[in-house]
Amino acid sequence: MLSSTEENYLKAIYKISERDNKAASTNAISKEMKTTAASVSDMLQRLSSKGLTHYEKYKGVTLTEKGNKIATALIRKHRLWEVFLVEKLDFTWDEVHELAEQLEHIQSIELVNRLDKFLGNPKFDPHGDPIPNADGIFTHRRQVELSELEIGESGALVGVQEDSSTFLQYLDKMGLKLGVELKVLEKFEFDSSVKLLVNHTEQITISNKVCKNLFLKK
């Protein structure tokens, strides 16, 4: 049985490795976990001695199959709880992340599987992120960053990169929720901002930073 702390490290390693497509560095983990590099270095040795990670001093760390399974199960739990909070308890998508960070550590495979069933086996969480099934298999979806679209192209908003409250509240303000149809009207070279047509009606302009955090299905 792992501590919540160890579980959080595994999740951080999973996240970083996936994002950067390489072993997670001590510094990257310390930034993600908001701890010092010294603490991370310490923990990496412990995780490796438990067979959860492959670790070579100074060379970064990756998850073993065992570590990967645990990280995936955590993500499954996190996202299912987020669905529960939004669908059943009427929380908004910007309120659920911190709560799910706690709920994901509840130890019970039976609980998460029943929750899954109760929610109707959802495939995506409130931020459009895929929910792995009980075997750890993710549903894959063809999607592109909004910034990759050419002028005139359009697509449906299916996901977001970030899940910080401030970003999600900004999207709400702009009328950008999952499912809306977006068409690229103009691109401004100066700051890479983009003018969009939302649901064939309203026009808005968003920054490049926002673009890079939106996933569309063409």
Among 17, 80, 125, 158, contact with Mn ion (rule: CB under 5 A): 125
Where in 59-118 is the site for DNA (CB under 7 A)?
60
Query: Which residue, 30 or 213, is less far from DNA as judged by CB?
Result: 30
What's the min distance (Å) between Cβ of 91 and its own copies?
7
What's the min distance (Å) between Cβ of 96 and Mn ion?
7
97 binds Mn ion (CB under 5 A): yes
Among 22, 50, 66, 88, contact with its own copies (rule: CB under 8 A): 88
What's the min distance (Å) between Cβ of 101 and DNA?
13
Query: Residues 6 or more apart from 157 whose CB is under 8 A from it?
Result: 128, 176, 177, 178, 179, 180, 181, 182, 214, 215, 216
The listed partner (its own copies, Mn ion, DNA, none) that binds 49, CB under 5 to 8 Å by sort, is: none
Q: How far apart are CA 138 and CA 50, in angstroms?
A: 26
The listed partner (DNA, Mn ion, its own copies, none) that binds 25, CB under 5 to 8 Å by sort, is: DNA
Nearest to 13 by CA among 57, 60, 80, 79: 60
Nearest to 10 by CA among 59, 56, 50, 58: 50
Among 15, 35, 99, 144, contact with DNA (rule: CB under 7 A): 35
Among 12, 13, 40, 103, contact with DNA (rule: CB under 7 A): 40
What is the DSSP secondary-structure string of 150-177?
PTT-EEEEEEES---HHHHHHHHHTT--
- The H helix count followed by the E strand count for the chain is 8, 8
Kindly state the tokens that stand for 114: 């029943």
Binding site for DNA (CB under 7 A): 3, 5-6, 25-28, 34-46, 55, 57-58, 60
